[in-house]
Structure 1
Amino acid sequence: MRDAMVLKAQRFVNSVYGSRTGTTVQETGEADWATLYALTRALQYELGITAFSDNFGPTTLNTLTAKYPKLDADTVPSPDFCRIVQSGLYCKGYDGGDRHRRTPGRPAAGPGRGADPRLAAGSGSRCGNPRERAVGRPAQGGPGTGAPPAHRGMTSV
Structure 2
Amino acid sequence: MNKITGILLALLSFSLKAEVTVEQLEEFDGWVYGHAMRTEEEIFNFGELVDVSSKETITNGGVAELKEYTFSKGHISAIVFSPDNVSVLGIRSSAPGYELKNGISVGDPSSILQSMPISSEGGEYCGINNCVNFDLNGEVIASFTIEFYVD
Shared fold, TM over 0.5: no
Larger radius of gyration: 2
Q: Which band: TM-score by shorter chain?
A: under 0.3
TM-score by length of 2: 0.28
